[in-house]
Chains A and B, each alone.
Chain A
Amino acid sequence: MSVLVDEVMKLSPPPSDQKASSKDFQSDQDVRWCPGCGDYSILAQTQRVMPDLGIPRHRMVFVSGIGCSSRFPYYMNTYGFHSIHGRATAIASGLKMARPELSMWVVTGDGDGLSIGGNHMIHLLRRNLDINVLLFNNQIYGLTKGQYSPTSEKGKVTKSSPFGSIDYPFNPAALALGSSATFVARTLDRDPKHMQAIIKRAAEHKGTSFVEVYQNCNVFNDGAFFQFTEKDTKDDTVVYLEHGKPLTFGKEKDKGIRLNGFSPEVVSLKDGKWSVNDLLVHNEKDTTLSFILADMTYKAGLPRPIGIFLAIDRPVYEQEMVRQIVFAQEKRGDGDMVKLLNSGDTWTVQ
C-alpha cells in the first residue's frame, strides 16, 4: 500500500459508524425505480444485511454499469461508482487490485453483466478476485424500454423481436460455473429472508461471489418469475439447495430429486417407491454436482434450483498479486529509483 493511502487508512471512523443500522446505509438520494420494481426489495435486503457484516460503510464500494440495476450505488451510503455499460466488473477489478482491503460489490443486470459485459464477467470469475457480484436478472432490457435480453426465453415477443426472439438464452449459473467461479448462487426478489442469507454468504466468501437474483420487471416483463415466487405455484416449481440436505420440494415436501445416471429426475416420496434416502444430497463443495444442478435450470419437468450451487476456496487474485510484490521486495529490497536509473551499461562523458 502506498504511503498516502496508508495515511488515509489510519484515520479513525466517526462514532456513528460503529454500530450501524440499515438506515445508515441509505443515501440521501430519492430512489427512482418504477413503483413495484423488484429492485426495491434487493436494495432493502442489501441494506438490511450490511450492518451484520461488521464492515464500516466507508470501506465499502458499490460499482455498477448501465441499466436499471446499475442505479443501485446512488442509493447506498457507501462509496460508489456508476460507470459505463458492461464494465463494472473490470472497474471493480482494478479498484480491488489497488485496494485489496475494501469490501467490493458489483451490481449489474442480465444485459449489463451477460451481454455487453459478458467478457469481463467470465474473466472476473476465473481470476477469482474477492468481489461480490449481484446480477439482477429480469430477462428483459428495462432502461431501453423492453427489448429481449440474453436471458430472455426463446420466442419472446418484444419491441425488437416482434416475431419472437430466435436467441437461445444464457443460463447464468451454468455460465458462471463454466467460467470457474468459486461461489455461485441464485435467489429471488420476493423471498427476502433467502436473499439476505445468500447476500451474507456471498459477502463472507473469499473470492468472486456470483449471485443471480430473479427480479421482476413489472413494466416490461411482469410475472416472468411468478411461477417461482407466488404462493400457489412456488412450492411445486422451486427446489431450495441446502448444503448437506436432500433435495425435496412440494408443499408437503413430498417430492424429491434423485440422480438417474447423471440426470436429475423428480420422484414422489408418497407412493412408497422412493424415500428421502434415495434423493440427491446437496454438497456445495462438489463442482461436478454444481454443473448438474445448474443444468436443471431450463429443463422441462424439473423444479428451478434456488440457493447456493457452489462455494469452494481457491486462491484470491489480488492476494496472489500482493504475494508476488512482497516476495520481490523481500528478495530485491524496496525499489530504489536512483539505482534503477543508473543500472545497466552506462558511461560517463567528462
Chain B
Amino acid sequence: MQPTIRRDLFTQEVFDSGSLGPLVSVIHRFDCAGTYSGKVLRHGAPAGSFAFIVDPQSETGQLSIDLSEAADGRHSGCCDGDDPSHWVVSPSGYVLFYASRGRGYATLVAEGDQRKPVFDSPMLRAGDLFALSLIEPTTYHATDRIGGGKAGIAVKRDPKRTRNLRNLEPVYVEVGQGTMQPHEIDPASAQGIVFRINTESRIVVQKTGKTPDDASRVLHRSFRADASAQNKI
C-alpha cells in the first residue's frame, strides 16, 4: 500500500504564532477560575468556537485545543455534550492551541460574557510560549514582528538526536523587547524549539532556503554585523 503522506508537514516555509498551522502551537496560562469562550479565526475570518472551564479543583495540567477541529465543529466546547473532563483545566495548568490540519488559525479567548479577550494568539504576552518543530535541515530567520527581536536558526540533520525525539529537550529562546536570546540556535531536524515570551510578541519563523553549511556561514556573518550595529547604538 502506498501511504498517504502529510505533505503539508514538509512544505511549510513560514511558521507564525499568529497564524497557526502544522508543527506550531501557542500556549497560555489562564490563571483566573471561570468559564472561557473562544473564537476560532481562520485567515482572519470567524471559523468556529469553543469553551472551557478553569477550575481550581481540577488537576488537569494541560488542555490542548485543536483549532482546526473546533473550526470543523468537531470540538465545540465544554457544554454541548462532549466529555467535560476534557475541557477543564487547572489555573496552574496550561492551555495549548494548535491546528492538526490546515493553516491560518488564530484564536481569541474571553472570560465569561466579557468582550475583551484575555488571550489573543496573534499578540502573545509575557508568560506565553510559542513552540514549534522545524523539519527541513536548512536555515530560518525568527523575527518578532511586534517586539523587533531576531534570531537565526540553522536546523541540522542529526540522526542520533532525531532517533530519540520524544525525549530530546527543546531549544529555548527568550524573547524580550527587541531581543532574542540566544540569537543563533542550531536544533536537530524535528527537535522542539520554544520561544518564551517576555513582552508583546508575534513570532514569525521563515525559511531562508540555504543549505545548512552555506546558511551557517551566512548566519554568522549577518549576526556579527547585527551585533556590531547594536554596539554602536
Partners in one complex: no
B residues in contact (CB < 8 Å) with A: none
